[in-house]
A and B are shown apart, each in its own frame.
Chain A
């Protein structure tokens, strides 16, 4: 009986496969431009079914208006995105359309490697964005929009509520940093084979993101976008965030020093950790692989910083962009993007493909009753709405720190894993947090110095 009720992503998607039909009901004429071009339009996307849904939508456009074209998805692993992107761009052979996280998109747009998309924004509808976000969050630079929203995707504090209740650890929604650490400590001490908390501490992008959310909660930043992008990383806030990570380490799995995205999800889904900061992905996997864990999971905004009160998360603000070099399909990709982005059916399906990992960015999609037909809404509505809506008031990223201004240097910072290396200086090499913060600041200063051209006209 339980099995019959189990939600599986594939079953659900199969049931909604017909949703895309009739997608072009209100299709702008612009997206109906015919093209007689032939070939394969390469699309890069991160791992996950949603990239496939978007490409299906683009292929539906191609079938109608450009029968000689096939859109083909190339999936890039998260930690391989930067290397793949840079080597292919260097070889002047990037994909024709890219779905990428905002910090990397900012770098590309400031380097003038992307096609401006203001015309596409006009066709899609400038006033459609959900409350609490701006177009620039996805990628705008010097008055031009270079990136279209694919989704917003915030981390939340994922909690095993069965464990929290069993140990009487209170309401996670009210936790401060200290409360969360105490909860992690209690869980580690009282639950066999379960770590209190699982965060990434490896030399990778996930560690960058986890640490950035703590840094921003503490009020710290890497660069000051309002002051010529001066490096402000060597600060008491950075030291505090590093000290906090160090203080959490005893309650993490010992292998956390090499954890990245996959290992953190594994630790949650397999029940080896009780708390984490993560996007919505573990829900999809737990629903399919470990139903009791799925039932017990709940997500909240991050714990409050004791002094600032901030609950800052990491939000990807992932978007679609069109690389300029050697791209013979610019117009076709634009038309296909308009087609898919003006179809509520495809956009709902996109969100449904991995609930609640990819949040809707347009009001009409967020308000579409079809969005709420997903079975996860029956038991996880609060969690889903935290990811979809309540996270936005606390969103930040390295590319737009505390939403105080777009910073095109962040992609390079991630390419070099500077934040993760700073964390590792503390948790692996045993450095003092203050020394690690100084080291990180020096590296960031070098990034700034090497890439002043990206800040041209601003600095």
Chain B
């Protein structure tokens, strides 16, 4: 009876109307693709022969479990994600602290900060490919001109360097996201806390560890979770810069999934990889939130 009355209220109906487009978009562009990927993970499906698609149970998961390249991709994805997040967080917080200083013209630098974030990845990757070219790249030329190196460094053609280069691209592009989030939080920390600490004789380092960092804990938790999910799933930066090479030294799970789906035409195996990635990230996020007690209500 009461729900019927609620529906009769004009503002409730308008509210539902506003929600409908989002709900439809979410169903079509989020729920359906995820559901389809999960379904495909249990099928053998060649996109050129869709009529021959058939249920194979857990076979696709067995395939990736038995594939050494899957495990190599997993390890490399973990390394790529861990270094990217660590560096983004450290540099992002440091930059936020700098940009929080009340200096003349600081707003200009805050604006510039967005630049890497808004440049399309494909542009950056292609420019970086040329810059990092071992033979004709401007980076080697500059380092040689400055007398810092004698021999060319093959940034994208040696396994360790290639991984470092892809991490550097990721850090350069996404550190501003961390900085902006942290800066926003920094601006809401009551100044009285710092004044009181100063009165108590706390130095800058002490104030950072005892006031700033605890105040940033929640925003950093959110940022790290999101950045971890996005970075772990990243495809285009690595693919555009190294295509997963040299060899398979910069494969991550997203590239592995792509290779299985498009190059090998094994959509089921690619989808199974996606499902594993989703599961890993879900479990990882739960553990992370539990460890950092995120979103727990303060008990009185």
Q: Are the chains A and B members of one assembly?
A: yes
Known contacts A83-B263, A415-B264, A416-B263; A254 and B134 CB within 8 A of each other: yes
Please tell me which one of the listed residues A258, A415, A416, A450 contacts residue B246 in the complex, with CB atoms under 8 A apart: A258
A77 to chain B, nearest CB (A): 12
Q: List the one stretch of B97-105, B150-158, B170-178 in contact with chain A.
A: B150-158
A residues 404-459 touching B (CB-CB < 8 Å): 412, 415-417, 421, 424-425, 428-429, 450, 453
Closest to A113 in B: B48
**Whole-angstrom CA separation of A266 from B242 in the bound complex:** 19
- Indicate with 1 or 0, residue by residue over B34-50, a CB within 8 angstroms of chain A CB atoms: 00000000000001110
- Residues of B close to A89: CB separation below 8 A: 47-48
Q: Which chain A positions have C-beta within 8 A of B259?
A: 416
A416 CA to B259 CA in the complex, in Å? Answer: 8
B127 on the A face (CB < 8 A):
no
Q: In the complex, which of the residues B48, B159, B242 contacts A86, with contact meaning CB atoms closer than 8 Å?
A: B48
By a CB distance below 8 angstroms, the chain A residues around B154 are: 254-255, 257-258
For the complex, give the distance between the alpha carbons of A258 and B249 in Å: 12
Question: Which label, helix, strand, loop or mixed, suits the secondary structure of the A interface?
Answer: helix
A202 within 8 A of B: yes
A409 shortest CB reach to chain B, Å: 13
Give CA–CA (A453, B52) in the complex, Å. 11
Once bound together, how far apart are the Cα atoms of A253 and B137, in whole Å?
Answer: 14
User: Is B262 among interface residues, defined by CB-CB distance under 8 A?
Assistant: yes
B245 within 8 A of A: yes
B22 → A minimal CB distance (Å): 27
Contact partner of B249 (CB less than 8 A), chosen from A91, A267, A428, is A428
Contacts of B157 in A (CB 8 A): 254-258
Asked whether A203 and B245 contact (CB < 8 A) given A254-B152, A255-B157, A428-B159, the answer is: yes
**Which residues of chain B come closer than 8 Å to A82, judged between CB atoms?**
263
Interface residue range, chain B:
20 to 34
- Cβ–Cβ contact B156 & A416, under 8 A: no
**Residue pair A417, B246 in contact (C-beta under 8 Å):** no
- Cβ contact within 8 Å between A272 and B243: no
Q: Which of B52, B135, B158, B159 contacts A253 (CB 8 A)?
A: B135
Q: Does A373 sit at the interface, judged by CB under 8 A?
A: no
The answer to whether B47 and A86 have CB atoms under 8 Å apart is yes
Task: Answer yes or no: A368 CB below 8 A from chain B CBs.
Answer: no
CA distance A204 to B158 in the complex (A): 16
Task: Provide the bound-state CA to CA distance between A91 and B264, in Å.
Answer: 16
Which of these, B49, B52, B249, B262, contacts A87 with CB under 8 Å? Answer: B262
Interface string of A379-416 (1 = CB under 8 A from B): 00000000000000000000000000000000010011
Residues of B within 8 A of A (CB): 47-49, 52, 133-136, 152, 154, 156-159, 242-249, 259, 262-266
A residues at B contact (CB < 8 Å): 82-83, 86-87, 89-91, 111, 113, 202-204, 253-258, 266-267, 270, 272, 412, 415-417, 421, 424-425, 428-429, 450, 453
Q: Beyond A254-B154, A270-B136: 7 further Cβ-contacts under 8 Å?
A: A90-B47, A256-B157, A257-B154, A257-B246, A258-B157, A258-B245, A429-B247
A-B contact pairs, 17 of them (CB 8 A): A86-B47, A86-B262, A87-B262, A89-B47, A90-B265, A203-B248, A254-B134, A254-B157, A257-B158, A412-B265, A415-B265, A417-B263, A421-B247, A424-B246, A424-B247, A428-B159, A428-B247
